[in-house]
Amino acid sequence: MGRLSQLIMVLVTISIVSTVELKAKESIENSVEKNSWGSKLKASPFGLGLDLQTKYIWRGMEMMTQKSSPVLFPSVNYSWEGLFVYAMGGYAVNGEYAEVDLGVSYTWKGFTLGFNDYYYPTVDSNKDNYFGGENTGHWLEVTLTYAPEKIPVWITASNFFYGPDKYVDENGNEKQAYSTYMEIGAYYDFLDNNRVSVAVGTAFNKSCYNGYEKNFSVCNIEGKYTYNVKVKDDWTLPLSVSYIYNPVYDKSFVNFTANIAF
């Protein structure tokens, strides 16, 4: 009877331990927050942004040559592993400029391959058709960037392969320009991710970057300093000032940019 009692006690103990472990597991599972679809709550892969530029300069080009004003760029993005998808708008504070951009890219071992759709509607959007229409406002672009992780340089090449990127040749024929841009840059980092960078951009054919007048041109020389304002322990506000010189048009600019990201 002594051995039987011991065996019963062991079985009872095992049963109690198993019950306690099961209830503990159920308690942990029940304590995990879930969304309205019943899925476990996790960090969102989406992000928001709002950039401000005192003057809209892009790849050395002055995007608002008349009635210039600061421009706001609201954006939303999705990132997963090396995939990045975004939608961004560009709107002048004086209402004289509008832009809508969509893009997708994938990064692998320092290489980033991307596709962008830049849409430039008229200021009076009632006269525009986003889909269809006699004249498209979409400029489609493919880009390739190499930015090695351990070397502070980058090189970017891009090409517009569709849209109103056209010029008239010497025979009076309208041709697709396939405007091609290449940029080489380098940077130096300081504490708190503050950074100074320089970049040189060139156009390799008659293109939108040189008024469709030259086969090769240096169109963008830029020096930039970025300072990160620490707002909270896990959030900073990057502020930057750039000096930009465009040799094609012999123009220079000093531009302030604030990048707000959530």
- Least confident residue range of 27-31, 87-91, 105-109, 121-125: 27-31
Q: Report the domain count for the chain.
A: 2
Are residues 91 and 149 located together in one domain of the fold?
yes
pLDDT digits (tens, 9 = 90+) for 13-53: 555 555 555 565 555 555 568 888 878 888 899 999 999 99
Report whether 118 contacts 138 (CB < 8 A): yes
Report whether 72 contacts 56 (CB < 8 A): no
Are residues 169 and 243 located together in one domain of the fold?
yes
| Torsion sign, CA atoms 74, 78, 142, 129 | negative
Amino acid making up residue 28 = I
| CATH of residue 236 | 2.40.160.40
pLDDT digits (tens, 9 = 90+) for 121-161: 876 666 678 887 666 789 999 999 999 999 999 999 999 99
Residue 24 buriedness (CB in 10 A; 0-12 / 13-18 / 19+) = exposed
Domain range holding 190?
46-261
Are residues 53 and 132 located together in one domain of the fold?
yes
pLDDT digits (tens, 9 = 90+) for 194-203: 999 999 999 9
Are residues 30 and 106 located together in one domain of the fold?
no
Are residues 1 and 71 located together in one domain of the fold?
no
